[in-house]
Amino acid sequence: MNNFFVILAAGKSKRFNKKMAKQFYNYKNKEIIDHSIDKSLDSRLFKKIVVVSNNLNHFKKKKYPKIVKIIKGGKERSDSSLNALKYIKQFKPKNVFIHDAARPNFSIKLLEDIIKNLKKNKAVVPIINSKDSIKYKIKNHIFNLNRNNAILTQTPQAFRFKDLFNLAINQKQKINDEATLFINTNHKIKFIRGENKNNKITYLEDINTSKTYFGIGFDLHRLIKNKKLYLGGLKIPFHSGLKGHSDGDVILHAIIDAILGATRKKDIGTYFPNTKKFKNVRSPKMLKPILDNLNKFNFFINNLDINLICEQPKVSKYRDKIINSISNLMGLNKDLINLKGKTVEKLGLIGKEKAIACEVIISITKYD
Residues forming the site for Zn ion (CB under 5 A): 219, 253
Rg (CA), the chain: 30
Shortest spacing between CB 219 and Zn ion, in angstroms? 4
Number of residues that make up the chain: 368
Kindly give the residue spans of alpha helices, DSSP state H, lying in 152-302. Answer: 161-169, 178-184, 250-262, 268-271, 283-296
- Min dist CB 244 to Zn ion, Å, is 5
Q: Which is closer to Zn ion, CB of 22 or CB of 253? A: 253
Report the nearest approach of Zn ion to the CB of residue 274 (Å): 11
CA distances from 238 to 226, 274, 318 (A): 10, 26, 12
Helix axes 32-43, 108-118, angle to 10 degrees: 50
Instruction: Give the nearest distance from C-beta 283 to Zn ion in angstroms.
Output: 8
Check if the beta carbon of residue 346 is closer than 8 Å to that of residue 299: no
| Residues 6 or more apart whose Cβ sits within 8 Å of residue 347 | none
* Min dist. Cβ of residue 360 to Zn ion (A): 12
CA geometry: angle at 177 spanning 32 and 103, to 5°? Answer: 20
Q: In this chain, which residue has its C-beta nearest to Zn ion?
A: 253
Q: Kindly state the DSSP code that residue 146 receives in the 8-state scheme.
A: P
Cα 254 to Cα 250: distance, rounded to the nearest angstrom: 6
| Cβ 366 to Zn ion shortest distance, Å | 26
- Give the DSSP H/E element, type plus range, for residue 125: strand 123-129
Q: How far is the CB of 195 from Zn ion (least distance, A)?
A: 51
| Contacting residues for 226 by C-beta, under 8 A, at least 6 apart | 241
| β-sheet bridge partners, residue 160 | 95
